[in-house]
Amino acid sequence: MTQTVLRIDASARRQGSISRQLTDSIINRVAPDAEIATRDLADGLPLINEAWVDANFTPADARTPEQRQTLALSDTLVAEVTAADIIVIGLPIYNFGVPATLKAWVDLVARAGVTFRYTEAGPEGLLTGKRAYIAVASGGTEAGSEIDFATGYVRHVLGFIGITDVHFVAADRLMLDAESSMKKANAQVETLGVAA
């Protein structure tokens, strides 16, 4: 059975992007024969607003046509994640955190009753059984360091919606030693297992 990969590019740069380059390498390594769906966040996403929140918290069978239209993009983004076996995210670190477009994507996808639910034991993610790979690129921030507010956030939000099998490949501190950083990242890609 052919696997489906959802590729999410969060870099604002379409040319010369290290996170896009690493995303290519990861997909070629773990799912070379998969069907690829691409969501390029460089195209931009709207921020949630009061109308979106009102529509989201209105029961589905009570939504007006306008509210359904307000949620249409969010529904599409949720469907993309739901349909994917593997999610590969190109994650540049901007000013110690995730790009604003990736945060907008999270806000549109993390929906109570749709991608997670609240239980007596706490929140429970509903998008289980998936694997995620995160291609990290940074100029000066060391991945996993105390000034990295991106990788921990992405791991947490993916787990929140049920995706707990998460693997990182990091080309970090590129401004300090790009050659060594890329060598390390490419070696990490080679250790990734091919998806069954």
- Would the annotation count 18 as a binding residue? yes
Neighbours of 100 (CB within 10 A): 16
Q: What is the dihedral of CA 35, 167, 148, 41, to 10 degrees?
A: 10
Q: What is the dihedral of CA 139, 151, 30, 40, to 10 degrees?
A: -70
Q: In what order do the strands lie in the sheet with 4-9?
A: 35-40, 4-9, 86-92, 131-137, 165-171
Neighbours of 128 (CB within 10 A): 11
Residue 74: closest CA among 94, 99, 49: 49
HSE, side-chain direction, 13 A CA sphere, residue 193: 7
- Would the annotation count 87 as a binding residue? no
Beta strands 122-125 and 131-137: pairing type?
Answer: unpaired
Rounded to 5°, the CA angle 151-156-161 comes to: 130
Q: Which residues are annotated as a binding site for FMN?
A: 11, 17-19
Known binding site: residues?
11, 17-19
